[in-house]
Structure 1
Amino acid sequence: MKFGKNYEYEKLLDEENSDNDVSDSYESNSVNRSRKNSHNDYSTSDRIDLSDNVHLIRKSHNDSKYIVINIDNDSSEVDEEKVPMIAKSKKPPVRTVSKIRLKQKPYLRPKLNRGKLQQKKKTERIYWLDCLRVFASFLVVFIHCSNMVLKPDIDYKTHNGRVLIVYCALTRPCVPLFIMISGMLFLNPQKKNITVESIFKKYIPRIFKCYVFWTLYYGIFDRYIVNYEQKKYEFGWELLIDTIKTCIISGSGHLWYLNFTIGIYIVTPVYRIVVQDRKMGWYMVALCSVISYLVPTVHEFFKIALGIDLQVFRTYVKNLVINTAGHYLGYYLMGYMVGSHVFVRKKHIFYSYIVGVTGCLLSVILRFISCYSFGENAHNMSRYYNFNVAMGAYGIFVFFKYSVNRFVKPFMRIKFFRKILSTLADCSLGVYLIHLTIYHIFYCFNFHSQLFDPLYWVPIYSVILYSVSFILVYFLRKDPFMVNVL
């Protein structure tokens, strides 16, 4: 095949601009040589060495194949082969035989904002557990408003006394619920941040600071300044020694929970290992329930109701040193085991509710039996370590885990409700610590829980006391010092 001096030439560009940059021109052989030399700014690997008598003619617009024409060959032989396109870019594209494929940039992951991730992870809360914490703190306020140990004294045989006994017995699961909440959070093996070091450097010092501050407050300020009992004190060495003993040894009544919390934190690393084996965890729950809760309750019932003293059996069981953290270790273990357990069948959840209701009713019945047997207001068979109280705490815990969780879940999609619930939960410990002095201040102004018929006034008064305590704690927590002791 012969061609004249003029022939068709297509300038080849890279794939990015191939649709717009390919142009046809008719030039002479000498002009073609100059165009060939104009591509010297590309690297050797990027250009095609076109000789004087070899040119490229594109077969079609969409075809990547080109015909190589040898002008000096008179035999009109046409050799067809695939030739890569000339690239403009200094970075040559990856070439293949049949088509041109540009080298793609590697996929770059978006940079993660670790601060936001940590904040998001920190804000992930178990909302039904927050509801349970708020409910437990309210029960603590309620039980102190209905407790006849506080002033004014009242006869348990009267209408007011019986109402207060019922209220006091029904609210007994308050402290066990607090312990179960702590067990669910601290015994979880998946939480890697709870170590021996963090417990002794973070958690125990915080509780100890709360204990020291509030022991001094109730031992000095609440006792001598508030002085709700209206006692007269004479300053002297005896009063000073008595104050020191009160602050160091006895302390305020409800602050015992802080001492217990420090003790349970100390043994937490041990029981975190124990509960990793589910069978061993349930075994410990059953063992503590029998030794710490069932046996003392049965012993008290036989002694009070039937007049049979099983002291030998009680003493033998008491000498079994398994209560590493007192009577309440079973609640601590039960909180994690029940909280992490999934009830497959609904009837098991229903049975748990029945256990809780039965335990609360037994607390009321056994409390009345105890009072009429001793002829006074007695707390026997309705203490925190009694088996019936444990039954009530278990039922309430399961109720919040399933029924309350299902109820509050739609509301937690709204930021306003989440904020309120988290604020109430964060202030629950402060409400527990400060509510008793608020009660004493109210009593100084003759505003107490027995001002009217306790059947309706005690719940109202408890709401008032809880609300005032919460508001006070909320604003006190804004202070850099008070936030560490509330």
Structure 2
Amino acid sequence: MSEKKNWIAVANVCACLGVIILHCNGVFWTFPSGRLWYTSNFLETFFYWPVPVFFMISGATLMNYRDRYSTGIFFKKRIQRTVIPFLVWSIISVLYRYFYWHWPHDGLRDTISGVLTTKYVGIYWFFIPLFAVYMSFPLLSAVEKKYRQTVFLLIAGLTFIFTSLLPTVFTLTGLQYNKGLQIPVAGGYMIYVLIGYLISNFDLKKKTRYLFYVIGLLGWFIQFEGTNLLSLPAGKIVETFKGYVNFPAVMQAVGIFVFFRYACDRWKRLERFDKICMSLSKYTFGIYLVHFYLVEMIPEHLHIDTGSICWRTAGAVAVFSISALICFVISKIPVIRKCIGL
């Protein structure tokens, strides 16, 4: 496999583990006090980059799909690998809520609405904007390659200014922001798709890479310390610096993605780690689909304190490992392997 696929696989696996750490760190949203607040806020902000990185990986791997197959095949593959698993596991989530947690039964119309709004398993929200991103690829990929660097950089830059940066600046200064200024051509998470393509296809000088590392650390620090400074006096979580398209998240994700691309030489020296990531990468989509059930059920049945640092770190690794094992077993069953995107 190519070097590009190597670092993409490492980024994919690390992002998947990071997502699970976030979900095991759910105590953050209860706004705990004392040391628990600081450790939960640290984990929440330090691992805020995985979702943006998933969108960046899509930009890096799918923008050039026309070089490999037609748009029709592109959509066929996306349906097989993402839409069908989403629908299957959404149905499982309905049954899980009704029979395991004894939720009141909804009618057919409300159940369909609940699936589309990811009511039954909230973390499946990710798939809805992902599908929207997929529908945008035929338009973006139609831009000639010789123009992409300029066009994509311009769109991403304007989106960062008018969608990521200025709304938060206006909030902090007590001004009202007119969202009509936001760039329509790059709504939602498209900024990450464009940045992911740019980082993976155009080389950065060493000084530029180090600058992005500093920007990434600064993005994390702004969210971490900003959330501290605003939330503690308010007695509740203030989300001014949160949001995946907010400027701290964009800064952090860009630094992380640059790191993954240019740390390839280091991964080569860790040959065993590289091989593990290459093997696990094909299961990350399935891991994302199944891990939430373990995050809920394991602490309940084993009477684990979800506020303990052990659960929020080692527990996350355990959930990742068990989820990967489940996906491995499913992958060996031809009839149902498609339900995890294989």
TM-score (normalised: structure 1): 0.64
1:141 aligns with 2:9: no
Aligned mates of 2:135, 2:285 — CA distance in 1: 20
C-alpha deviations, 1:173-213, integer Å up to 9, x for none?
A: 11000000110011137x51243212222213432101211
| Aligned match of 1:281 | 152
Given candidates 445, 467, 471, the residue that maps to 2:301 is 445
Aligned mates of 2:279, 2:92 — CA distance in 1: 25
Structure ID, larger Rg: 1
Letter in 2 for 1:322: V
| Aligned match of 2:179 | 315
Partner secondary structure for residue 148 of structure 1:
helix
Partner secondary structure for residue 376 of structure 1:
coil
Letter in 1 for 2:164: Y
Aligned mates of 1:128, 1:476 — CA distance in 2: 26
Given candidates 376, 396, 415, the residue that maps to 2:236 is 376
Structure with the bigger percentage of helix: 2
Change (3 A) 1:448 1:295: farther
Q: Return the offset for 1:428.
A: 0.8
Q: Return the offset for 1:249.
A: 3.8
Change (3 A) 1:281 1:322: closer
Structure 2 alignment gaps of length 5 or more: none
Partner secondary structure for residue 48 of structure 2:
coil
Letter in 1 for 2:151: M
Contact 2:28 2:40 in 1 (8 A): no
1:337 aligns with 2:191: no
Contact 2:90 2:115 in 1 (8 A): yes
Q: Percent of aligned positions with the same letter in both sequences?
A: 23
Aligned mates of 2:141, 2:36 — CA distance in 1: 46
Q: Which has the higher contact order (CA 8 A, sep 6+)?
A: 2
Q: Return the offset for 1:162.
A: 2.4
Partner secondary structure for residue 322 of structure 1:
helix
Aligned ranges 1:378-393 → 2 under 5 Å = 378-393=238-253
Contact 1:327 1:385 in 2 (8 A): yes
| Aligned match of 1:198 | 73
Structure with the bigger percentage of strand: 1
Given candidates 240, 255, 262, the residue that maps to 2:124 is 255
1:216 aligns with 2:87: no
Change (3 A) 1:482 1:347: same
Q: Return the offset for 1:411.
A: 4.4
Aligned mates of 1:165, 1:399 — CA distance in 2: 23
Partner secondary structure for residue 379 of structure 1:
coil
Partner secondary structure for residue 141 of structure 2:
helix
TM-score (normalised: structure 2): 0.89
Q: Return the offset for 1:256.
A: 1.7
Change (3 A) 1:406 1:262: same
Change (3 A) 1:158 1:411: closer
C-alpha deviations, 1:56-112, integer Å up to 9, x for none?
A: xxxxxxxxxxxxxxxxxxxxxxxxxxxxxxxxxxxxxxxxxxxxxxxxxxxxxxxxx
Change (3 A) 1:358 1:418: closer
Q: Return the offset for 1:283.
A: 0.8
Contact 1:293 1:327 in 2 (8 A): no
Q: Return the offset for 1:360.
A: 1.0
Given candidates 323, 332, 337, the residue that maps to 1:483 is 337
Change (3 A) 1:426 1:245: same
Aligned mates of 1:314, 1:377 — CA distance in 2: 25
Structure 1 alignment gaps of length 5 or more: 1-122, 303-307
Contact 1:146 1:168 in 2 (8 A): yes
Change (3 A) 1:464 1:351: same
Given candidates 120, 127, 130, the residue that maps to 2:9 is 130
Change (3 A) 1:315 1:463: same
Partner secondary structure for residue 464 of structure 1:
helix
Aligned mates of 1:336, 1:234 — CA distance in 2: 45
C-alpha deviations, 1:321-372, integer Å up to 9, x for none?
A: 333xx4210000000101111123x222211111111111111012223423
Aligned ranges 1:76-475 → 2 under 5 Å = 123-124=1-2, 126-148=5-27, 154-188=30-64, 192-221=67-96, 223-227=97-101, 233=103, 242-251=110-119, 252-274=121-143, 276=145, 277=147, 278-302=149-173, 308=174, 310-311=175-176, 313-318=177-182, 320-323=183-186, 326-344=187-205, 346-372=206-232, 374-403=234-263, 405-412=264-271, 419-448=275-304, 450=306, 452=308, 454=309, 456-475=310-329
Contact 1:133 1:425 in 2 (8 A): yes
Aligned mates of 2:72, 2:107 — CA distance in 1: 41
Q: Return the offset for 1:397.
A: 0.7
Letter in 1 for 2:62: F
Aligned mates of 1:390, 1:267 — CA distance in 2: 20
Aligned mates of 1:147, 1:381 — CA distance in 2: 18
Letter in 2 for 1:336: Y
Count of residue correspondences: 336
Contact 1:169 1:367 in 2 (8 A): no
Change (3 A) 1:195 1:287: farther
Q: Return the offset for 1:470.
A: 1.1
Contact 1:187 1:275 in 2 (8 A): no
RMSD of Structure 2 on Structure 1 (CA) = 2.4
Q: Return the offset for 1:285.
A: 1.5
